Amino acid sequence: MATRGFDLNIALVLGLILSVLEASNGGRTSSYVRNDDLSRDMPLDSDVFRVPPGYNAPQQVHITQGDHEGKGVIVSWVTPDEPGSNSVLYWVENSELKNRAEGILTKYKYFNYTSGYIHHCTITDLEFDTKYYYEVGIGNTTRRFWIVTPPKPGPDVPYTFGLIGDLGQTHDSNRTLTHYESSPVKGQTLLFVGDLSYADDYPYHDNRRWDTWGRFIERNAAYQPWIWTAGNHEIDFAPDLGEPIPFKPYIHRYHVPYQAADSTSPLWYSIKRASASIIVMSSYSGFGKYTPQYKWLEKELLKVNRTETPWLIVLMHCPLYSSYIHHYMEGETMRVMYEKWFVEYKVDVVFSGHVHAYERSERISNIAYNIVNGLCTPIRDQHAPVYITIGDGGNLEGLVTEMTQPQPSYSAYREASFGHGFLDIKNRTHAYFSWNRNQDGYAVEADSVWLLNRHWNFLEEFVSDSGDIATL
């Protein structure tokens, strides 16, 4: 009996090892089955939406990068009752010298909603790799936070990006954010792939849900930059409500450093941060030939200096490759326009949201088609990016669980669970991507892969140490 139990254990362990090996060969649909009940938004009186005490106290504090290189920060906040102070006081940790930066004030109306006073203050010329404290508000409603600026851009600077998409404000959203914050992997900057508050799912796009969302994410977004991508839930296009201007609440509330990237619109822009160049695109703005976004991207891709920032990351809300049934092929027009460039410029990874699930692709491309040759199937392509869909933040619309069958060969791993990811850049050649599902412990990686940098991988001097086929 004892021997048989022992054999059984060995068999179990072997089975586990085999299934792990299989997972790394790709093409896996996870057998993990989760409850896909719709999750409601957290009620208005939830702890995460609490208004800070005191008259006109600043709320919804959040930061994002404020320039192209990482020496700038945009601090944004809302004062509910009156404009109040528009300035940010900031200083290097342990320094007596306090600096002050002046912001700008904006507000907007949406149907019968009137926003609070929205402040945006751009602080420039900070030192790299330095901890700063900053304060907003006045008198006894002054609120203090801190930030750490990124290291100066350079090829071997390690840096860890978090990834969240389609977050919303349900209990699942709160679990996703808690998992991100509690992970032993410490995200330094969050790449947010679009669909923020889901306020537009409410009657009259109830914009109070933009305010609650701002208060919900403050606990993280006031301390580390969230890099914003616009999703379809940011469009808020409602001519029937007298609101024909797309992106109105989003553009008033979430400022990004687009001018520093020579962009003419906050909906597409780029930043450099540590060892990465990050290009943010808009799935819901014109992107055909000759459009402003097209012209900007054409120039931008030429500007990326892979010697300085080896990692080239693209963020867009709608995925170019997704094998889920919901939103199937919505990214196809964008794919036809830009996939060729992503391969030509050896983009390392394209992150998207929109599909409320997780999926990771193989390195594939589908760019040979020319109307008459019939070559329209994705093929393995070592120059191509990996496409990762991470629209599983946890919003009130729930998960999408229906997948196209059989799993297409371009799809390496897919699972409909809420979660978040990390892109942990180690040096110019290696980065490690991992995905955590909310049902697991904070340290558990439900899917992971080593990414070899596309630029350095194809330079001769590095080819010798990148022959490992288990990595991508």
Catalytic residue set: 327
Residue 292 binds which entry of ligand NAG, Fe ion, none, with Cβ cut-offs from 5 to 8 Å by kind?
A: none
β-pair partners for 349: 313, 386
> How many Cα neighbours within 13 Å face the side chain of 381?
23
Question: Taking CB within 5 to 8 Å according to partner kind, which of ligand NAG, Fe ion, none is near residue 232?
Answer: Fe ion
Residue 307 touches which of Fe ion, ligand NAG, none (Cβ within 5-8 Å per kind): ligand NAG
Distances 39 to 169, 274, 425 between C-alpha atoms, Å:
10, 37, 34
Q: Within 164-203, which residues bind Fe ion (CB under 5 A)?
A: 195
E-strand spans in 103-171? 104-106, 109-110, 113-114, 117-123, 131-136, 143-148, 159-164
Of 256 and 425, which CB lies nearer to ligand NAG in the complex structure? Answer: 425
Query: Considering just the CA atoms, what is the radius of gyration of the chain in Å?
Result: 23
One-letter identity of residue 414: R
Nearer to ligand NAG, 64 or 141 (CB): 141
- Residue 458 · residue 466 · CB < 8 Å: no
Which is closer to ligand NAG, CB of 141 or CB of 265?
Answer: 141
Nearer to ligand NAG, 171 or 340 (CB): 171
The residue at minimum Cβ distance from Fe ion is 354
Minimum CB separation of residue 292 from ligand NAG in Å reads 25
Q: Which one of Fe ion, ligand NAG, none is in contact with 354 (Cβ closer than 5 to 8 A by kind)?
A: Fe ion
Tokens of 325: 């049934």
Q: How far apart are CA 336 and CA 284, in angstroms?
A: 15
Nearest residue to 311 via CA among 160, 150, 147: 160
Name which position in 160, 170, 232, 277 contacts Fe ion (CB under 5 A): 232
Q: How far is the CB of 399 from ligand NAG (least distance, A)?
A: 19
Which residue in 216, 403, 428 sits closest to 307, CA to CA? 428
Only one residue has tokens 């490759």, namely 321
**Footprint of ligand NAG on this chain (CB under 6 A)?**
42, 46-48, 54, 112-113, 139-140, 171, 174, 178, 204, 305, 307-308, 426-427, 429-430
Which two three-digit tokens encode residue 213? 């969302």
CB of 303 to ligand NAG, least distance (A): 9
Bridge partners, residue 216, by sequence: none
Sequence letter at residue 305: N
Interface positions, 315-354, toward Fe ion (CB under 5 A): 354
Residues 358-397 that bind Fe ion (CB under 5 A): none
Closest C-alpha among 437, 464, 439 to residue 452 = 464
Shortest distance (Å) from residue 6 CB to ligand NAG: 36
Please state the closest distance from residue 304 (CB atom) to ligand NAG, in A: 10
Q: Which residues bind Fe ion (CB under 5 A)?
A: 195, 231-232, 354
